[in-house]
Chain A
Amino acid sequence: MTGAGVRRAGVLAAVAVACALPLFVSNFRLFQFTQVGIYAIALLGLNVLTGFNGQISLGHGAFYALGAYTTAIMIDKWSVPYGWTIPVAGFLCLVVGFLFGIPALRLEGLYLALATFALALAIPQILKYFEHWTGGSQGIVLSKPKAPFGLKLSPDQWLYFVTLAVLLVLFWLGANLLRGRTGRAIVAIRDNPIAAQAMGVNNALYKSLTFGVSAAYTGVAGALSALAIAFVAPDAFNVFLSITLLVGIVIGGLASITGAVFGALFIQFVPNWAQDISKAAPWAIYGIFLILFMYAMPRGIAGSLRLAWVRLARARAGTGRAG
């Protein structure tokens, strides 16, 4: 079976399992998997920017927060139906991300990381400052949307399917984008910006657009999380969120679409396992997990799978090669 064939089969199998999941897990577990889906969308967003395009962002929590608060404010203040808030959140983040991408053009590697890091640190304070809109430290409480058309689904189950649907659409769009000309241009800018420009790629436009798209994905994830948790508060969007997202894409695998899913599974479940192992110092266990993971899979889970696949292919073809 070819690589593409295996990949397609794997994706179909995973989607099938995902659809069947609500049948055999508890509501709470399902909620956790909804969160995995949300993280996966956010991680794909960050990965497009950092993995594929080489722009390191330590501040994507800001877009997550923007998406979440957009949804929360629209529902709380203007009673907008929750379904509409998701694309609005995405579009708003697209624009803000694009605008942010413009000054970011001047900053390379470390400096961009610093700027986004500073942004991430400022988010909770900014949110608390605009109390009138954001509800300050108390935050905004929402109610979980119920399944429409009288479907026999609990709110958790309904939200799970909504998240799954959004995830599939966004991943499909993302895969098409990244496997085509645009994707190649984005990667070319990461690998050799001067050569890319010399070949006619408009670096500035692509980099800003990538920032925008990346922000949009993360914003949609934020919007979904506001619905799933039914609550937003400034301290949930502190610098740890941004760092967690970064951990997610590196563990999952940079420049990989499936990596986003692996990373999401890691950042959702491993902290819980760490807590099970040690109540006294759970983060120490988490830290050890992080380090051991990086030793074993320096290019992330997706990267290691890719490497294993290549080695397998070479071993099979090896006997026929000349010298």
Chain B
Amino acid sequence: MALLEVEGLEAQYGWTKVLHGLAFAVEEGGITTILGANGAGKTTTLRAVCGMVKTAGEVRFDGHRIAGRATEDIVRLGIAHVPEGRGTFMQLTVEENLRLGAYARRGRGTLAGDLRRVVEYFPVLGERRGQIAGSLSGGEQQMLAVARALMLRPRLLLLDEPSLGLAPLVVREIFRIVRAINREERVAVLLVEQNAAMALDLADHAYLLETGRVVMSGPAGDLKKDDAIRRSYLGY
């Protein structure tokens, strides 16, 4: 049984249906990526898993049905979502952002330890602890967003286009840290990306989305070698 299992997932915004029956899975401790062009429905997929849009279909986390439940409750089960645009609390400090990440784990007395761990992965956040989050650079805000998600001690990390708007070097650094987190903390990752090359390097398993449907899936290595993918999404 996979950690996250999705079957027949449909989602709509108002009257417009965006996802037409998706099926995919994320294994315990694995890294799965969902690729696709703009408008394919990648972001909507992550939001559907978190209960942020109107959905139909089956979503099971660790065997429990989570489809239809409120976002706050889904998060408390151990799913951390780094949203598109990062969702940083711009007017609060870096440290306050991190503390909020651990909100769902209140009372488990590990705040100081969690902060230390997270700063180990992202030293720059330690330096900027007291700074207002809105004044951080794009790359730093992305790191803050991932760190905030980590504070939850999640079992599954949802990453929505972490490379968006960032310089390649910064992106590489963030992906390196994500791989480390996956290995050391045994956190499963569901990564949504437009940057297919980097995503396929990182992931074990990959799905290709086109206008709300899965059109291809398999081990990341296979997709990387596939001609059609190479031409359309990897550019060579």
Indicate whether A and B are direct neighbours in the complex (CB within 8 Å): yes
* Nearest B residue to A323, CB-CB: B20
In the docked arrangement, what's the CA distance between A314 and B20, Å? 19
In the docked arrangement, what's the CA distance between A314 and B12, Å? 16
**Residues on the A chain within 8 Å of B15, using CB:** 314
Q: Chain B: how many interface residues by the 8 Å CB criterion?
A: 3
B-contacting residues of A (Cβ < 8 Å)? 314, 323
In the docked arrangement, what's the CA distance between A323 and B56, Å? 14
- B65 at interface, CB cutoff 8 A: no
**Residues on the B chain within 8 Å of A323, using CB:** 17, 20
Smallest beta-carbon distance A262→chain B, Å: 25
* Nearest A residue to B21, CB-CB: A323
In the docked arrangement, what's the CA distance between A64 and B74, Å? 53
Interface string of B1-44 (1 = CB under 8 A from A): 00000000000000101001000000000000000000000000
For the complex of A and B, the 3 pairs showing the least CB-CB separation, nearest first, are: A323-B20, A323-B17, A314-B15
Smallest beta-carbon distance A318→chain B, Å: 11
**Residues on the A chain within 8 Å of B17, using CB:** 323
* Nearest A residue to B20, CB-CB: A323
What would be 3 A-B contacts, judged by CB atoms less than 8 Å apart?
Answer: A314-B15, A323-B17, A323-B20
In the docked arrangement, what's the CA distance between A219 and B129, Å? 59
In the docked arrangement, what's the CA distance between A323 and B17, Å? 8
Smallest beta-carbon distance B18→chain A, Å: 11
Smallest beta-carbon distance A322→chain B, Å: 10
* Nearest B residue to A314, CB-CB: B15
**Residues on the A chain within 8 Å of B20, using CB:** 323
* Nearest A residue to B212, CB-CB: A323
Smallest beta-carbon distance A319→chain B, Å: 16
In the docked arrangement, what's the CA distance between A247 and B15, Å? 30
**Residues on the B chain within 8 Å of A314, using CB:** 15
In the docked arrangement, what's the CA distance between A314 and B17, Å? 14
In the docked arrangement, what's the CA distance between A314 and B16, Å? 12
Smallest beta-carbon distance B212→chain A, Å: 9
In the docked arrangement, what's the CA distance between A323 and B211, Å? 12
In the docked arrangement, what's the CA distance between A228 and B56, Å? 58
Smallest beta-carbon distance A246→chain B, Å: 28
In the docked arrangement, what's the CA distance between A209 and B197, Å? 55
Smallest beta-carbon distance A317→chain B, Å: 12
In the docked arrangement, what's the CA distance between A173 and B209, Å? 51
Within 8 A of A (CB), among B121-158: none
In the docked arrangement, what's the CA distance between A314 and B14, Å? 13
In the docked arrangement, what's the CA distance between A323 and B20, Å? 8
Smallest beta-carbon distance B49→chain A, Å: 22
In the docked arrangement, what's the CA distance between A314 and B15, Å? 10
* Nearest A residue to B15, CB-CB: A314
Smallest beta-carbon distance B182→chain A, Å: 36
* Nearest A residue to B10, CB-CB: A323
* Nearest B residue to A321, CB-CB: B17
Smallest beta-carbon distance B167→chain A, Å: 29
